[in-house]
Amino acid sequence: MSQDRRYSFEFFPTKTDAGHEKLLATARQLATYNPDFFSCTYGAGGSTRDRTLNTVLQLESEVKIPAAPHLSCVGDSKDDLRGLLNEYKAAGIKRIVALRGDLPSGMGMTSGELRHANELVEFIREETGNHFHIEVAAYPEMHPQARNYEDDLANFVRKARAGADSAITQYFFNADSYFYFVDRLQALGVDIPVVPGIMPITNYSKLARFSDACGAEIPRWIRKQLEAYGDDSQSIQRFGEQVVTDMCERLLQGGAPGLHFYSMNQAEPSLAIWNNLKLPR
């Protein structure tokens, strides 16, 4: 779609048939905006493996938008991963989001033959050459399990040098953290595109819990305004839409190579921002 920038949306596989039908309806609505691709998450330890596979294949074949499955290495053997890669390759999938992945409760760090995302990137390259465009994760505000910021930068550099083509960030609400991260990478000789991950604000309590868990900071002034709205969901959504739109404008003006919307399987919140930005269709 876009020559200079790329725009994409992320889904998570659902547990029910009704939820899956809603996901596909959302995807069809978003498809009318001609995004570059859809991505689909992969549960902790591969717990949604089959649902991720089925969702990705339907997005690719029925909705007709390129689909990018998440693939994580914890809890999976090389044979498991090889089988999935072969299925995706046979289905014409051309993009993979390669992650270490989250550990299910009770699973030790030794589970699986690959322990880090850079090892997964290397494995994908060894198995499939350049068939897949490989995305990796980036954390402008630092991965919550990293020892410090410098270690986290070094982890990202390893992923890039292992063969990653581009990256998608964890969501954030402070554009300065993104620009600082990219500047540091460039100083280290890493110049793969790093696309900001964008989380629409629709529900403050859910966002606060999720952000605390994944290490994404909600700036104090945003928190306090959202708290002040209480249960006024319309005001929360209006304020959130404006805050995120303003941040996206600054990111694009500052040279970000696109935007990746965490849709949460809903069309309207992401499309409101898309329309405010007057992005191409």
From the list 10, 60, 135, 241, the catalytic residue is 10
Q: Which one-letter DSSP state was computed for residue 85?
A: H
Which amino acid belongs to residue 160? A
Catalytic, 10? Answer yes
Within 10 Å of residue 250's Cβ, how many Cβ atoms? 14
What residues form DSSP beta bridges with 263? none
Angle at 92 between CA 51 and CA 49, to 5 degrees: 20
Q: How far apart are CA 97 and CA 258, in angstroms?
A: 16
Q: How far apart are CA 261 and CA 196, in angstroms?
A: 9
φ, ψ for residue 112 (rounded to 5)?
90, 155
Q: How far is CA 118 from CA 50, 69, 154, 184, in A?
A: 24, 17, 11, 19
Q: How far apart are CA 85 and CA 94, in angstroms?
A: 10
Q: What is the dihedral of CA 213, 272, 39, 120, to 10 degrees?
A: -50
Q: How far apart are CA 241 and CA 23, in angstroms?
A: 22
Q: Tell me which residue of 123, 66, 59, 65 sits closest to 94, measured CA to CA.
A: 66
Residues 6+ apart with CB under 8 A from 140: 169, 170, 172, 177, 178, 180, 181
Proportion of the chain in helix, strand, coil states, percent, rounded to 5 = 50, 15, 35
Catalytic residue numbers? 10
